[in-house]
Structure 1
Amino acid sequence: MLAFLGFLTVVLMLVLIMTKKASPLVALIAVPVVTGIIACGFFVTDPENAPGVIDFVANFKSMGKMITGSSGIGSVAATGVMFIFSILFFGILTDAGTFRPIIKKVLDLVGTDPIKIAIGTAILAAIVHLDGSGAVTFLICVPALLPLYDALGMKRTTLATIVALSAGTMNILPWGGPTIRAATALTPEGQQTDAVAFFMPVLPAVLAGLVCVLVIAVFLGRAEKARLGNVALAGKAYVEPELSDEEKALLRPQLFWVNIVLIIAAIAALLKSGFAPAVIFMVF
């Protein structure tokens, strides 16, 4: 019954969020609390001294400790802090315009060749997804590349497929959602979650996955080239989207290389320093 309630909790949260019946924050808090209260009627309070005896009131009172204790928020607090500061770190870098020259360079290199465009899409999505946020990746990559795809007549589904493949592979980073959740679930009760230690053994698989993404991008690009034939861009070129005055005020083009060094140093520190990822992102 407890296992069933656990699966039911996950299903209900997904349904509420995907159907927009509740915001993610409300669904993630309310559903587990409700199913937790229901579970109080199935959990044996003292199996050693009173096997089979269910004390609903005692179980209900223990819920608070279960939520905030070492097996609850206490076990994921450091991971949550890491996630918050990783988003802040890469968000500040994005606002400073660190990735804008990289995006422009990639788009300049791909030209009007569908194969190069497909490869460039994969590389660009992988770079942008360093922050571990899928939403940010699509918000940056799609507006930047969609005019180019439309001008050439390339399928929009090709753009979506390549970005999703690249972002999905990069999402295995220690500060990505899937790795954080998997590491949390597999960490013994009472111990702090270490997403970096969990990530290191699968690093070769992630690198192999990125190679596979590039190979798939080549195949998709060749298919597009064969479908379109020798299509020219008809003089159209990539035009950078206009920035608001607030966005322009945040740009720091003179600090581009400083920011690149920060990114490289932060990743190196995450993999080799031994410090907790939350501390590293806070410092950087």
Structure 2
Amino acid sequence: MLLAMTGFIMIALLMFFLLRGKATPLALFVVLPILAALINGFSITEIAEYSAAGVSTTWSMAALFVFVVTYFGIMTDTGMFDKLVQSLINVANGKIVGIFLAIVLIGTIGHLDGNSPTTYLIAIPALMPLCKKLNIRMQAVMLMCCSVITVMNLVPWGGVLNRQSIVLDMDSSVLWQSYLPIQIFGWICCIGMAFILAKVETKNGAGVVTCLPEADDASTLSDKMSEVDSLKRPKLVWFNVALTIFVFVLLFKSPFANYIIFMIGDVIALAVNYPNVKDQEERLKAHAPKVISLVATVLAAGVMVGILNNTGMITAMAEFIINALPAALNSKLHIIFGVFGGFMGLAVAPDTLYYGILPVLIEVCGTYGIPAQSVAIAFGVGADSCFTLAPVISSTFLGLAVSGLSLKEHMRFSFFPLWILGLLMILFGCLTGIIMV
């Protein structure tokens, strides 16, 4: 009882402080779970072990951030995206909906491997300069990208179906056949969202290419533009494009870890574009501030994940909810957990969701004749809806790194649209009989 109540209070405090901007994620991810564990009687030794176990699951993503942020920073410095941006501006010709539809297409193709980091890396950096020129808010771009990731994450080799197929003891491709109509419906919803976001952004002033500042800032602007121009490497643009394509081919085809691939990319990019060692050091220093806070936050998130998982707090919270609900609602537990799965997905790591909570839910619903597969689909769609906002998932911070957004900005803009997308997909599943009501 105490374990569950402590968990609820901790998550409530986490969301309150994050959304109100009263504390940094770094501080919250360390202080709150340690306090929660101490309140429940866990020893300092146990807390240290749980924290270390959690950090061991996030360090590789932290390493990836170091080299990803640096790589795309260097490519921006060299002006690699300039011609692409100008071409897209000419093609779009002020049609903002075309940009959002392009994000849907790029995100769909980019997420065919079921890997969120790859999708962020393919979709965001290439489109961000264009969106800034057209005054499209990055919050809207991230929402569109995350919506597509949410839908495409339901492929047989994606995290949701892989984990659920293990729990259900069935082949993920067989499970996907039931998910597929819901996934197609979700993708159509993404197309609809593209048109809605285009209208919203147009009303917000998107579509007009950003003009240069007035003469008051002329000298400052001139100095800044001179500095930016000195970093550009127009004669090496095709080399940088080829290098970037090579890096992405390695991501899909090579046995190397992602951070090793981008490490190699950084070394080559610096050596060719800025052969002077002092220039290389300056480029690294220029991009270091973005890297430090992100890496620290991701490692701190590992502390929270480790303590939540190893103390049994999440399972205790799920069991508390199940026992607290009126008996009349027990046969609808899978729908209830699906509807509120978006909230759970914000604070609970995927392994705990599908290996800890789902089996308990399947067992309870089974006594009321609800098939395990129906329970899994309702819960999977709901929990998947907001996972791209989850501070306990490392890939969230990669999306924030490449988009330049804060977690607060991203959550405030995207939570309800993504949650509603999940609800619509659950409703479609119920109406078509895929999810038993």
TM-score normalised by the chain length of structure 2: 0.39
Q: Any stretches of 5+ residues in structure 1 without a counterpart?
A: 42-55, 147-155, 173-181, 187-200, 228-232
CA distance in 2, matches of 1:206, 1:260: 33
Percent identical across equivalent pairs? 24
> SS where residue 75 of structure 1 aligns?
coil
User: Is residue 77 of structure 2 the alignment partner of residue 95 of structure 1?
Assistant: yes
Aligned twin of 1:195: none
1:166-205 to 2 correspondences below 5 Å: 166-169=144-147
Shift of 1:121: 4.5
Shift of 1:207: 11
CA distance in 2, matches of 1:140, 1:214: 23
Shift of 1:266: 1.7
Aligned twin of 1:256: 237
User: Is residue 279 of structure 2 the alignment partner of residue 278 of structure 1?
Assistant: no
Contact 1:96–1:251 (CA under 8 A) maintained in structure 2: yes
Aligned twin of 1:26: 27
Shift of 1:22: 0.9
User: Is residue 56 of structure 2 the alignment partner of residue 60 of structure 1?
Assistant: no
RMSD (Å), alpha carbons: 4.4
User: Is residue 39 of structure 2 the alignment partner of residue 38 of structure 1?
Assistant: yes
Shift of 1:108: 1.0
CA distance in 2, matches of 1:91, 1:162: 22
1:56-205 to 2 correspondences below 5 Å: 59-68=43-52, 71-112=53-94, 116-123=95-102, 130-131=120-121, 140-146=129-135, 163-169=141-147
Query: What letter is aligned with 1:89?
Result: Y
Shift of 1:4: 4.4
Question: In 2 relative to 1, CA 169–132 (structure 1 residues): closer, same or farther, beyond 3 Å?
Answer: farther
Contact 2:64–2:259 (CA under 8 A) maintained in structure 1: yes
The structure with the greater share of residues assigned to helix is: 2
> SS where residue 57 of structure 2 aligns?
helix
CA distance in 1, matches of 2:57, 2:13: 24
User: Is residue 248 of structure 2 the alignment partner of residue 267 of structure 1?
Assistant: yes
Contact 1:95–1:247 (CA under 8 A) maintained in structure 2: yes
Shift of 1:210: 7.6
Shift of 1:17: 2.0
Contact 1:266–1:281 (CA under 8 A) maintained in structure 2: yes
Query: What letter is aligned with 1:15?
Result: F
Contact 1:132–1:171 (CA under 8 A) maintained in structure 2: no
CA distance in 1, matches of 2:251, 2:262: 9
TM-score normalised by the chain length of structure 1: 0.57
CA distance in 2, matches of 1:35, 1:16: 16
CA distance in 2, matches of 1:251, 1:105: 18
Listed one character per residue, the Cα deviations across residues 26-46 of structure 1 (whole Å, up to 9, x for unaligned) are: 22222222222223x2xxxxx
Contact 2:75–2:240 (CA under 8 A) maintained in structure 1: yes
